[in-house]
Amino acid sequence: GRLYTENSSGDVVEIGLNPEGNVDVTGSVTASSTLTAQKLVSTNGVLELDDNGSHNGVINSPASLFINIDSDNGSTGEDFVIGKDRTSTSGGTELFRVQEDGNVGIGCSPSSALSIARGSGVNAYIEVAGNNNTVGSTSMLFGQDSSNYGYCWNRANEALLFGTNASERIRISSDGLLMVSTSSDFASGTVDGIIAQGTSKPAAAFSNTADGQIVKFYQSGSLVGSIGTYSGDLWIGQGNT
């Protein structure tokens, strides 16, 4: 059977009762209190949590909340998308996308596990702040700036480390020393850069001095030779310091 009534706006609402016990409504329905249902189906796929654009929409769940795409397993190319300035599937600006293959895109359709894109003249960084550091000042940056420079940038006053096989291999100290397979500057004197293969193997350290040892060679942590200048002459060996 069918039941016809009028809502608060004067519109006619048609309510159908089918043999399965379901209720079909043609028109708008306003609930001034709690509306309880085990399942809510929208045939046009639109759920609006506002009536005039001034209210925040809130979804509360006392337990886990699942949002499933491709729930009928009928495709391999569906997406979960969050956008702004639009009320349908197009227009406005896309902010965030998760593809069915698990790839995530921020500002773009992803081509890898995580893709981030920004518009012309805008930096695109991933920012990480650990140990109670501050985002925007003592954090770590990875990305590409508006001039196309790539960044791996530690803004805290500490070293930048690179490693393989769960071990440190390269270190750039906070004052700009480059160390390979060592984590300490074992050279004496003024050192502006150091390249090493470990303190028990041959190593070389580079100094920035007008006169003296410019390149120093070490064996097992001890100085064994150098290349330097003294009074306009080039010295190779244990030369003047």
Q: Are the C-beta atoms of 114 and 88 separated by less than 8 Å?
A: no
- At residue 49, the pLDDT reads 81
Q: In angstroms, rounded to a whole number, what is the distance separating the alpha carbons of residues 30 and 43?
A: 18
- Give the pLDDT confidence of 21-41 residue by residue, as tens digits: 566 666 676 777 777 777 777
pTM: 0.69
The amino acid occupying position 161 is: L
- Residue 53 token pair: 């654009």
- Give the pLDDT confidence of 71-121 residue by residue, as tens digits: 999 999 999 999 999 888 889 999 999 999 999 999 999 999 999 999 999
**Residue 185: Cβ within 10 Å count:** 16
